[in-house]
Amino acid sequence: MRGQHRSIGQVLDLLKGDFADISISKIRFLESQGLIDPERNQSGYRKFTEADVNRLRWILEQQRDHFLPLKVIKDRIDQQDFDGTEGSRESNSDGDGARGSQRPNPLESGAVSVSLNLDELASASGLSQSEIMELQKFGLIEPLNDGALRHYGSEALIVAKVAAGFLAHGVEPRHLRAYKSAAEREAGLMEQRIMPMVMQRTAQARKQSQDTLAELINLGSELRLSLLRCALANHTG
């Protein structure tokens, strides 16, 4: 559809298969924040070019896949080339295609490093500041201290966004303590297995400990999911 234009409704239909939370109001909000700037016809209706759609898709991917707040996205958006081709320079050059089906490293979250204050974390996650403080109260997130500044990193943002999803189903922060306790017990088990390697204090032993830890995390994830399916079998058919 190069050289042609889409209405906002057509853009919504095009993207809703990949982005479940997309809506006309969200597209309008992103425009109001200066992240997209579609043309208008004489009647005032928005006209989206293919470049506009690719730019919007990239923004939504940064929110969904990297948990980036709009402030960070806006700072980076001028570095992208939305020329009407699929994706952008970042998505085409980050090596994902070359990696193919390689298993991601579970020791890396995949989220871009961020530094957010309390207000920015609440805005980016969709939680209120009091709900963020509830997560902190129960030890689910911890602020990072940098001298006199207290801020939150990418892991806190991931936890906050996941907690927002739980909250939408009536699961409150206090209910999520079980996940933290289980994670701490699992981490203790894994630390016992890699500690002899860590104590060797050589580059080879360190790499071996990291590889072993990654494999144990993947095995633990598969085991938890299988056990959870078994525990819920009566409800899933």
Of the listed ranges 99-103, 115-119, 158-162, 216-220, the least confidently predicted one is 99-103
pLDDT of res. 101? 40
Does the reported pTM lie above 0.95? no
Spatial contact of 15 and 60, defined as CB atoms under 8 Å apart? yes
Residues 151-157 have a mean pLDDT of: 89
Residue found by looking up tokens 């890699």 in the block: 194
Distance CA 78, CA 234 (A): 51
Residue-wise DSSP of the chain: -TT--B-HHHHHHHHTTT-TT--HHHHHHHHHTTS---EE-TTS-EEB-HHHHHHHHHHHHHHHHH---HHHHHHHHTTS--SSSSS-HHHHHSSHHHHTTPPPPTTS--PPP--B-HHHHHHHHT--HHHHHHHHHTTS--PEEETTEEEB-HHHHHHHHHHHHHHTTT--GGGGHHHHHHHHHHHHHHHHHHHHHHTT--HHHHHHHHHHHHHHHHHHHHHHHHHHHHHTHHHH-
Of the listed ranges 83-87, 152-156, 166-170, 229-233, the least confidently predicted one is 83-87
pLDDT of res. 128? 93
Residue found by looking up tokens 């390689």 in the block: 102
Q: Is the pLDDT of residue 207 over 80?
A: yes
pLDDT digits (tens, 9 = 90+) for 61-87: 888 877 777 777 888 887 666 654 544
Crossing angle of helices 70-77 and 50-66, in 10° steps, is 140
Spatial contact of 56 and 27, defined as CB atoms under 8 Å apart? yes
pLDDT of res. 82? 64
pLDDT digits (tens, 9 = 90+) for 15-40: 999 888 888 988 998 998 889 999 99
pLDDT band at 176 (very low <50, low <70, confident <90, very high): very high
